[in-house]
Amino acid sequence: MSRIAYVNGRYVPHSEASVHIEDRGYQFADGVYEVVLVHRGKLVDEIPHLDRLDRSLSELQIDAPMPRAPLRQVMREMVRRNRISDGIVYIQATRGVARRDHPFPKNTRPALVMTSRRLAMPDRAKAEEGVAALTIPDIRWARCDIKAVALLPNVLGKQQAREAGAYEAWQVDDEGYVTEGTSTNTWIVTPDGELVTRQIGEQILSGITRATLIDLAAKQGVTFVERRFTVAEALGAREAFVTSATSFVTPITKINDTVIGNGRAGSVAMGILDSYLDYAADAGAS
């Protein structure tokens, strides 16, 4: 079965899908995106993802390429046509095609593309083993709350992690506080058992998975606080993990050369992963 992409109103074979060379997403990274998890054929946290897409678009003064109701239909059609049970839908909207010139073009229609692909749900036994992270300076811009396609620093950071045999790079601000991963939000559990993640602000993306997990942690009675934490605090943490629509809850058992906790995934991370999997299979899917 061939993969299908959606490009500006048309469903086309993925191998033939293309946009114009003067799309401003290509030339200026002048666009935004979303990655929505699909589990058992249903979209997880669809509405918060679309709310965040609207917000990103409005921060960049890009008109919505399509009203929400048909957009939701296209997302479902992508899941159906690509026969996705577990996977993702990727949505990208840019300011559109115009002669290369820095100011916003007039009368240009925003462009919309969508792809969908399979992604395996996490394997619990593998998650227990954990993965490594390294810390790197956060060299991104001052509006990381906008889910812009301008991801070059993130790409460089992730590559650095992979070359060091690590799963993720934890970006660190000028004051020594962890901001977030290159494509994930970052969390620790302190030696006192307090779950900590950085507060929302312009330095990080307001993760949809993050928000869902905060609710789920509260239901489990986990003590939780939103505040920034330093690299030193992370190295001394009992647990560490990262979250996103594609990383779910991924325990981190080593940061740089330091083993976190006992070197295995902790009970808070695994408890939250379990409740997230239940949530994705049920309440959060539509």
Which residues of the shown chain bind ligand PDD in the complex (CB under 6 A)?
35, 154, 180, 183-185, 205, 207-210, 243-246
Query: Which residue, 98 or 204, has its beta carbon nearer to ligand PDD?
Result: 204
Amino acid identity for residue 177 in this structure: Y
Q: What is the dihedral of CA 158, 160, 163, 164, to 10 degrees?
A: -110
Rounded to a whole number of angstroms, the minimum distance from the CB of residue 98 to ligand PDD is 26
Rounded to a whole number of angstroms, the minimum distance from the CB of residue 182 to ligand PDD is 6
Rounded to a whole number of angstroms, the minimum distance from the CB of residue 199 to ligand PDD is 14
Rounded to a whole number of angstroms, the minimum distance from the CB of residue 38 to ligand PDD is 13
Distances (CA, A) of 225 to 57, 107, 185, 242: 30, 46, 14, 16
Give the CA angle between residues 119, 243, 118 to the nearest 5°.
Answer: 5
Give one DSSP letter per residue of 219-272, joined into a string. HTT--EEE---BHHHHHT-SEEEEEETTTEEEEEEEETTEEPTTSS--HHHHHH
Lookup result for tokens 């969390």: 187
* 147 is an active site residue: yes
Query: Which residue, 82 or 171, has its beta carbon nearer to ligand PDD?
Result: 171
- Annotated catalytic residue: which of 147, 158, 219, 254? 147
3-state DSSP assignment of residue 59: helix
Query: Which residue, 21 or 120, has its beta carbon nearer to ligand PDD?
Result: 120
Query: Which residue, 26 or 90, has its beta carbon nearer to ligand PDD?
Result: 90
| Contact status, residue 97 vs residue 24, Cβ threshold 8 Å | yes
Q: What is the set of active-site residues?
A: 147
